Structure 1
Amino acid sequence: MAVTAQHVESLFAGEGSGHDWWHIRRVWQNALQIGKKEQADLMVVQLGALLHDIADWKFHHGDEEAGPKAAQEWLRSHNAPQELINKVCQIVREVTFKGAGVDTTPSTLEGKVVQDADRLDAIGAIGIGRAFAYGGHKGREMYHPNQAPQLHASFEEYKKNQAPTLNHFYEKLFLLKDRINTVAGQEMAQERHQYMQQFVQQFLQEWHGPEEAPAAFHLETNHPQAGVKTA
């Protein structure tokens, strides 16, 4: 495990889009915590967490198989059993969010644990920071009042999305609380979700004034998707 952690740290140290070593380390630690509570296979969980972003499609021209291939190559180079390789690569393949209209529930308990840990790092205070770091990395506006969020019906639509960063909260981040797989993960998600809601409400009030935010961006209820256009 330590060798894999060192390898991943060497690949992602100093990365500036929010998909850096510290993100991976937090996912690893959260996955370990959730995995213990859920009685998952902790070897599979830890390797899946450490390798979940080893070749993210977002940085490999949309190639969904780049991650599983890179994970497989690394594990094979260290003579891991094929059964273990298969389980870890399945996690890497299934972990990603693919759009509001796409079911991405992992097929194994270990996959659910890693996906939950990854999604927890996408929400809350750190999730906010990571969202704007990625938006800046991609040259996106923070917000555009005339560009409403879209709830993407397919992964292809989601991949093509170039919307401002604030839209990402409606298109993905606000959806994650209700898509956490494990009881342990759900408990951790509640406070983070509420913090994001408060942040976006404050952002919009500072931008527009409290009475002038567009209807699609109001957060008047616990259902922040209200008023958002579907794809």
Structure 2
Amino acid sequence: MTTDTTLAAVHDFARSKMRDDETGHGFDHIQRVVGLTERLLQAYPQVDRLLTLTAAYLHDVIDEKLVADTRVASQEVRTFLAAQGFSGAQQETIFLIMTNMSFHKTLDGTAKPLPLAGQIVQDADRLDAIGAIGIARAVYFGGHFGEKIYDPTVTPRTQMTHAQYRDLGHETVINHFYEKLLTLKDLMNTTAAKKLAAHRQWVMEDFLTEFKAEWQAQR
């Protein structure tokens, strides 16, 4: 099969898995990550486009916070990839990327080094978590899980374990910016992503300044 034919199949598989998501990780998110991945790939023509875009399409399909059983989800992905003609080595690279790019992996030090393809997908995913889109997704995610919007008496956590990070009972939507989103700019891997992140960081900082001023009835 051609690259375009394979990517069309990957697109449809990802859409079938993520189209009903209501946490901010739906197929619209997937499409933006793929688009950003394409944009970042322009600076790295030596990187395998098919493998990288496949990882971008599938990066949330086996996410622990989104699926009931990661083992079952992983096997479905492996079966699908094999049917599309991906070799065992290609599958392992795709899974290496999917299972080591999440932010929570940085909290417990278990993340394995990513190849350049994985760094690009990771940057694309992190870019979609910040800026105006990031603000909307943070509010959407927090509302889905019943988080408070803000509580000035609850200070952001500066150090968290994986379990604490997943404990949404001790987080507010606004604190999530300080605990994760505002840290992502400095975690970008590629030069292009760092440039895009700088503007998106400003958007979030401006929003937080305005939010707190309005919260205190100063504006």
Q: What TM-score, normalized by structure 1, do the two folds share?
A: 0.83
Distance 2:147 2:20 in 1: 21
More helix by share: 2
Give the percent of matched residue pairs that are identical in Structure 1 and Structure 2: 32
For 2:72 and 2:197, the matched residues in 1 are separated by 29
Moved more, 159-168 or 119-128: 159-168
Q: Within 5 A, what are the aligned runs for 1:165-184?
A: 165-184=173-192
Within a 5 Å distance, the mapping from 1:89-108 to structure 2 comes to 89-98=95-104, 101-102=107-108, 104=111, 106-108=113-115
Distance 1:49 1:204 in 2: 35
Give the aligned partner of residue 123 of structure 2: 116
1:57-206 aligned at under 5 Å gives the runs 57-60=64-67, 68-98=74-104, 101-102=107-108, 104=111, 106-162=113-169, 163-206=171-214
* Matches of 1:193 and 1:138, distance apart in 2: 25
* TM norm structure 2: 0.87
Shift of residue 187, structure 1, vs aligned partner: 1.0
- Considering only aligned residues, what root-mean-square deviation do their CA atoms show, in Å? 2.2
Unaligned runs of 5+ in 1: 212-231
* Structure 2 alignment gaps of length 5 or more: 1-6
Query: Structure 2: which amino acid aligns with 1:98?
Result: H
Per the alignment, do residues 66 and 192 of structure 1 end up closer, same or farther by CA in structure 2, a change over 3 Å counting? farther
